[in-house]
């Protein structure tokens, strides 16, 4: 492959995007797509990126491709959002693009002028191509999110990113490397590793996309461990934009009740209870303002609608409409947070341990009610799912 041939193809508009659906495991419906570069030669032959992107990367010509194709990706999103303005499109960029001084300004100009909801345009960066600990990389990523765009870390666990760097980058989601997803169903250690990755992403409030889902068993497993999204041949192969639009019109669904997200919601609840009790006791005992401020800073969100459990409850509500136990769960959860705020206020006052202790018991008892309700609901859902399955 010669670079001159790649350059001529770019000038001749032989490059295009194919779109591979990304599925929400909350709803089972398509919620977005990854735009994947394809080179279609005049004779109709399709050349995959692996046959020309390495040379483009090596020579730096990749920045020319990005500059030319970015407006086309934005145009594709614009067309998709005419059908459904909640759908997102991800666009892959190279580390070489970050070295291009015109990239950020070109990105801002292109997206700001065309996209009504800029958060629907996601920039995918590949873990193996970046040095997240590099301050220059972090600065550029923050500039991107400051524009309202979202960032997805692709091929996570395939490269060298340490877990600590995930707290330093302004990420919306991580996409687990295909080989890690595909190994998960086949062994205890692989499964536990995958489940650990999902739990870690959840704790950091990151969506997690399982890439490379190619069969129903893997799809069911991804929903069972708590992935928020999935992508792969089981749902659809990458396709030209007109075909993707036709697929959207058909409204396909791959819905399995997301039991894994329910498990993670229980962990969120338990963590919240522990953190609030610990913080209230630490604040009550220590009158040092610095210790108190640090204890408050470590607290989870005290708003019942925006905490981890609350986010799960809102997203799962469409699957539980009319369920009285689910409604009660919401009421109990709201009251649970009211007691949490009281605990912190009593602790800050620091003059009535009996009142603090009494409310800790109220708080713990309310927690037990919530856990009983969610576990009863989980058992019912499991019975409905497995007893009614084909």
Choose between 136 and 235: higher pLDDT.
Answer: 235
Q: What CATH number is associated with residue 92? A: 3.20.20.450
pLDDT band (50, 70, 90) for residue 205? confident
Q: Among the three residues 192, 221, 254, which one is the final residue of a domain in this structure?
A: 254
pLDDT band (50, 70, 90) for residue 388? low
Q: Which of 124-138, 298-312, 327-341 has the highest mean pLDDT?
A: 327-341
Which stretch of 117-121, 154-158, 199-203 has the lowest confidence by average pLDDT? Answer: 154-158
Residue 20 sits in the same domain as residue 162: yes
Residue 159 sits in the same domain as residue 238: yes
Average pLDDT of the chain, as a whole number: 91
Q: What percent of the chain has pLDDT over 90?
A: 68
The whole-number pLDDT of residue 361 equals 96
pLDDT band (50, 70, 90) for residue 138? confident
Residue 68 sits in the same domain as residue 147: yes
What is the rounded CA–CA span in Å between residue 144 and residue 119?
Answer: 11
Residue 109 sits in the same domain as residue 22: yes
Q: Is the pLDDT score of 20 beyond 70?
A: yes
SS3 category, 101: coil
Which stretch of 116-130, 168-182, 201-215, 241-255 has the lowest confidence by average pLDDT? Answer: 116-130
Which stretch of 77-81, 106-110, 129-133, 254-258 has the lowest confidence by average pLDDT? Answer: 129-133
Q: Which of 49-53, 59-63, 363-367 has the highest mean pLDDT?
A: 363-367
pTM, entire model: 0.86
Q: Is the pLDDT score of 33 beyond 90?
A: yes
Closest CA to 199 of 120, 271, 283, 139: 271
Residue 150 sits in the same domain as residue 213: yes
**In the structure encoding, which two tokens stand for residue 28, read together?**
């089972």
Q: Are 38 and 243 in contact (CB under 8 A)?
A: no
Choose between 241 and 267: higher pLDDT.
Answer: 241
Q: Is the pLDDT score of 303 beyond 80?
A: yes
Residue 44 sits in the same domain as residue 179: yes
Residue 298 sits in the same domain as residue 334: yes
Structural domain count of the chain:
2
The whole-number pLDDT of residue 166 equals 78
Q: Is the pLDDT score of 131 beyond 60?
A: no
Residue 341 sits in the same domain as residue 199: no
- DSSP one-letter code for 346: H
Residue 345 belongs to domain spanning: 261-388
Choose between 237 and 257: higher pLDDT.
Answer: 237
Q: Among the three residues 254, 287, 319, which one is the final residue of a domain in this structure?
A: 254
Average pLDDT over residues 221-246: 96
Residue 241 sits in the same domain as residue 96: yes
Which stretch of 126-140, 206-220, 264-278 has the lowest confidence by average pLDDT? Answer: 126-140
Average pLDDT over residues 22-44: 95
Q: Is the pLDDT score of 90 beyond 70?
A: yes
Q: Among the three residues 226, 254, 282, which one is the final residue of a domain in this structure?
A: 254
What is the rounded CA–CA span in Å between residue 213 and residue 198?
Answer: 15
Q: Supply the angle between the helices 259-285 and 324-349 in degrees, to the nearest 10.
A: 20
Residue 249 sits in the same domain as residue 303: no
pLDDT band (50, 70, 90) for residue 132? low
Q: What percent of the chain has pLDDT over 70?
A: 95
What is the rounded CA–CA span in Å between residue 125 and residue 93?
Answer: 6
Residue 63 sits in the same domain as residue 177: yes
Q: Is the pLDDT score of 133 beyond 90?
A: no
Residue 132 sits in the same domain as residue 275: no
Average pLDDT over residues 290-309: 91
H-helix or E-strand spanning residue 386: helix 353-388
H-helix or E-strand spanning residue 46: strand 46-47
């Amino acid at each position: 492959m010669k670079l001159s041939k790649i350059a001529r193809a770019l000038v001749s508009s032989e490059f295009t995007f194919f779109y591979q659906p990304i599925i929400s495991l909350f709803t089972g419906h398509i919620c977005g797509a990854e735009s994947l570069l394809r080179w279609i030669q005049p004779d109709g032959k399709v050349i995959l990126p692996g046959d020309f992107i390495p040379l483009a990367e090596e020579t730096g010509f990749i920045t020319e491709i990005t500059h030319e194709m970015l407006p086309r990706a934005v145009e594709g999103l614009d067309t998709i959002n005419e059908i459904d303005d909640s759908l997102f499109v991800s666009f892959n960029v190279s580390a070489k693009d970050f070295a291009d001084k015109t990239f950020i300004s070109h990105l801002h100009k292109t997206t700001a002028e065309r996209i009504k909801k800029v958060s629907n345009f996601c920039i995918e960066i590949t873990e193996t191509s970046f040095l997240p600990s590099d301050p220059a990389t972090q600065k550029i990523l923050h500039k991107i999110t400051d524009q309202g765009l979202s960032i997805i870390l692709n091929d996570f666990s395939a490269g060298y990113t340490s877990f600590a760097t995930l707290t330093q980058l302004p990420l919306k989601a991580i996409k687990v490397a295909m080989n890690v997803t595909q190994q998960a169903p086949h062994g205890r250690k692989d499964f536990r590793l995958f489940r650990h990755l999902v739990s870690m992403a959840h704790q950091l409030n990151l969506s997690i996309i399982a890439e490379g889902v190619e069969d129903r068993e893997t799809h069911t497993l991804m929903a069972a461990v708590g992935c928020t999204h999935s992508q792969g041949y089981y749902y659809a192969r990458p396709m030209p934009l007109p075909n993707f639009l036709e697929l959207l019109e058909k409204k396909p669904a791959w819905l399995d009740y997301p039991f894994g997200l329910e498990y993670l919601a229980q962990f969120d609840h338990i963590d919240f209870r522990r953190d609030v009790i610990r913080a209230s006791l630490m604040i009550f005992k220590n009158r040092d303002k610095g210790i108190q401020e640090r204890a408050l800073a470590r607290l989870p969100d005290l708003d019942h609608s925006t905490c981890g459990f609350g986010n799960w409850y809102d997203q799962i509500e469409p699957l539980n409409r009319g369920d009285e136990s689910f409604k009660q769960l919401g009421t109990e959860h709201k009251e649970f947070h009211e007691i949490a705020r009281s605990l912190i206020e009593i602790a800050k006052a620091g003059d009535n341990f009996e009142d603090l202790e009494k409310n800790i018991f109220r708080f713990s008892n309310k927690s037990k009610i919530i856990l009983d309700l969610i576990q009863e609901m989980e058992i019912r859902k499991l019975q409905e799912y497995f007893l009614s399955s084909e």
